[in-house]
Amino acid sequence: MGTLIIEDEPKTGDDLEQGLAEAGLIVDLVRDGSNGLHRDRTEAYDLAPSRILESSSS
């Protein structure tokens, strides 16, 4: 078990993975939503944080 991170932005994903690993967590980084959803449904994770997408207003 560990932490599932689904992040399509390479630098953000790498930074999250590194920071959480340095804090002692086991991290699985997935780069796209469909693979992330599959991993979340087929493996047990202690933590799977989600991000809220905000729409920009003109």
Q: How confident is the model at residue 18 (pLDDT cuts 50, 70, 90)?
A: very high
Alpha-carbon gap, residue 4 to 46, rounded angstroms: 8
User: Which residues, in sequence order, are CB contacts of 16 under 8 Å at separation 6+?
Assistant: 5, 7, 27, 29
- Between 57 and 8, residue with greater pLDDT: 8
pLDDT of 58 above 60? no
Predicted confidence (pLDDT) per residue in 22-47, tens digit: 999 999 999 988 898 899 999 999 98
> Residue 30: its pLDDT value, please?
94
pLDDT above 70 covers a percentage of the chain that reads 86
Strand partners, 5: 29
Q: H-helix or E-strand containing 37?
A: helix 33-42
- The answer, as to whether pTM is greater than 0.75, is yes
